[in-house]
Chain A
């Protein structure tokens, strides 16, 4: 037990304490300015009732709206975007020339590790209505310019996040493909399987556990990602506001820590559910193997 103490203390100080603290202040009117800063008081479930006020739950700027946006954001950028795209890239480049593969992987990883602020600025410039690169390309192809950030803000940050995060699933699947013995690959070629047949009958069954892992990890990560805030600020009209942006707005722009903590608790619960799903899937995977 003794040798676990440092780890337990670490977890206690940096994980459990903040969790408990956030949970406690979610029942108070604690704020950074105004009377709630000097003498915060317990307000019971008021913050939660306000968060789940069904009358205005889906109104732009409210929590329900943010949750709905987050759902689209996660589904679009993680489930439909990063995971299939990462898998596709890993497959396409798995058996191709080493130099080419390394070059492509390096580029994808660069998109992943570049600082968020730099990348956000680049994307603002890329998608600008009047001077953006993408619209310049579209116009030169004879297609009209699109007002990305105004008409499709959620789509804009979904595209951004796919670009930003595909490297992770690509690396993960690439490693998974590496575990498949080359002889399987060659055998399938000898028996004359098409690419699709090989994928369906040989590759996918072998990497299925990894697909689940990637899905859950990427979902968790995308759920909490904050960089899109630097691009759209959650706007216009809260159309691209996700739950992490909502929490930030309430806690650090309005400086209402109590209400911010309430949103944070809900997010933690959702994350917890996803994490449990992840752990269960890992366990199943172990049993399967």
Chain B
């Protein structure tokens, strides 16, 4: 009886061993699956990113890995919601240890995710070997800081951007502002008053056209802060944050001037459409308006040029090069801008980070660094020419993009990279919303902003300049 039991026990053991072996073998034979996600949809928002990744990078990477004897599969998960919704998704995914292996990330999210322990430096995820990559030599410090925080690097930026005023040349010609016949091909306002005068002229001569749309309100999220609030505020000579005093401006004549500019545009003279800023889907509404020739001037980032109105996009402006011009955003008066500049702009950047929860850190890093090789980045330039993170990858085949970069990169500044920034940014959006909706005067809106600021960073970190 005992012998029998022992024998059957042995049998079970053998069977178990075989089973474990089979499972192990099948795991061995199964390809490594990597996933990448970002706010991009083929034929929709950021379609160029999907095209580049799915049509060029992934096949080349899979082939390269196969040559090394590794069977790898890569999948891109398209995300069609807003940036804010994606951030929300990431926060929820990462907090439970899930998410795609490589995540498309906006630089200004990094500090709060790092403070929450949700994202980790590249070195932590994939080991010190990441620093042996050839690409670092060509990525300047400034570009590394886009997805960096406190000296650590969390990912690689796709590049940086600048912000300008885009205008419809066809409408400008109809309004007589551009006169190709007498050689007036370009438009460049030098003061806020000149910008407003152009808008007034359009309002008078082209009824039904919205002359000037400056991003405002909370619906657009960060787009309001970057393309709207900063572009106006920097023109008064201040930033949201004083980098020397290490404090936030809570009350300042510059804030009031900027809010009064909004009031002039949206309330007093109705040069812009406040309704459009306040309804859900505000940003897409401005894209549509510009595409359909209903908005004459729109302050936007170069992303607008190279992705939103580019050929093949949902909001493509046919014949973009001839139909759309751009001008630098002037300071209130020449020399009155941030750092005494005549013109102002601000930069941000997005890129890709490694998910600290990835089961295949080495392969994920291999894919990330492969995508940022010179060869692959040059391929990306064919799909979407822009300012890339690698200095050995020039802007190719888009003179307008090159010109924007050359004219504005020397003038640019960045957001303060602190965990509290997104909350403060929201308060700035709310401040513009209250003014353009006519709920508060500029003075009241600034006072409410100051209160909110003090609640977020503490009264000791808020600058009051009467």
Binding site for B on A (CB under 8 A): 31-38, 50, 56, 59-61, 147, 149-150, 232-233, 235-237, 252-255
Contact = CB atoms under 8 A, between A and B. Distances in A.
The 5 closest A-B pairs by CB, nearest first: A37-B116, A236-B278, A33-B112, A34-B112, A233-B280
A37 B117 contact: yes
A44 to B, nearest CB: 16
Interface of B: 84, 88, 91-92, 95, 109, 112-113, 115-118, 218-219, 275, 278-280, 419-420, 423, 426, 430, 433-434, 437, 439, 448, 451, 455
A205 to B, nearest CB: 47
Contacts of A33: 91, 109, 112-113, 115-116, 118, 419
Given A232-B280, A237-B439, A35 B419 contact: yes
24 contacts: A32-B92, A33-B109, A33-B112, A33-B113, A33-B116, A33-B419, A34-B115, A34-B116, A34-B420, A37-B95, A38-B115, A38-B116, A38-B117, A50-B455, A59-B448, A60-B434, A61-B430, A147-B275, A149-B280, A150-B275, A233-B219, A254-B423, A255-B88, A255-B91
Contacts of A61: 430
Nearest to A149: B279
A34 B116 CA distance: 5
A237 B216 CA distance: 12
Nearest to B117: A38
A37 B92 CA distance: 12
A232 B115 CA distance: 33
A254 B275 CA distance: 24
A147 B426 CA distance: 27
B207 to A, nearest CB: 17
B379 to A, nearest CB: 34
B426 to A, nearest CB: 7
B275 A37 contact: no
Contacts of A236: 275, 278-279, 437
Contact of A150 (B116, B118, B278, B419): B278
B275 A235 contact: no
A237 B278 CA distance: 7
B115 A237 contact: no
Contacts, number: 66
Nearest to A38: B117
B411 to A, nearest CB: 31
Nearest to B277: A236
Given A61-B430, A149-B279, A233-B219, A32 B95 contact: yes
A54 B82 CA distance: 33
B280 A235 contact: yes
Given A61-B430, A237-B437, A252 B88 contact: yes
Say what secondary structure dominates the interface of chain B: helix
A32 B423 CA distance: 13
Contacts of A38: 115-117
A235 B115 contact: no
Contacts of A37: 95, 115-118
Nearest to A252: B88
A32 B451 CA distance: 24
A233 B118 CA distance: 28
Contacts of A35: 115-116, 419
Nearest to B116: A37
B88 to A, nearest CB: 6
Question: Interface centre among A149, A150, A237, by most B CB within 10 Å?
Answer: A237
B430 to A, nearest CB: 7
B117 A254 contact: no
Nearest to B109: A33
Contacts of A232: 280
Contacts of A31: 116
A33 B149 CA distance: 15
A32 B96 CA distance: 11
A61 B280 CA distance: 15
A32 B115 contact: no
A38 B292 CA distance: 48
Given A232-B280, A233-B280, A237-B278, 17 more contacts: A31-B116, A32-B95, A33-B91, A33-B109, A33-B118, A34-B112, A35-B116, A37-B116, A50-B455, A56-B451, A59-B448, A60-B434, A147-B275, A235-B279, A236-B275, A236-B437, A253-B88
Nearest to B423: A254
Nearest to B437: A237
Nearest to B420: A34
B219 A235 contact: yes
Nearest to A233: B280
Contacts of B419: 33-35
Contacts of A36: 116
A103 B265 CA distance: 54
Question: Interface centre among A147, A149, A255, by most B CB within 10 Å?
Answer: A255
Nearest to B436: A237
Question: Interface centre among B109, B219, B278, by most A CB within 10 Å?
Answer: B278
Contacts of A233: 219, 280
A150 B218 CA distance: 15
A60 B218 CA distance: 12
Contacts of B430: 61
Contacts of A235: 218-219, 278-280
B381 to A, nearest CB: 34
B129 to A, nearest CB: 28
A191 B423 CA distance: 71
Question: Interface centre among B92, B279, B430, B434, by most A CB within 10 Å?
Answer: B279
Contacts of B279: 149-150, 235-236
A235 B112 CA distance: 27
A255 B116 CA distance: 11
A160 to B, nearest CB: 14
A239 B230 CA distance: 27
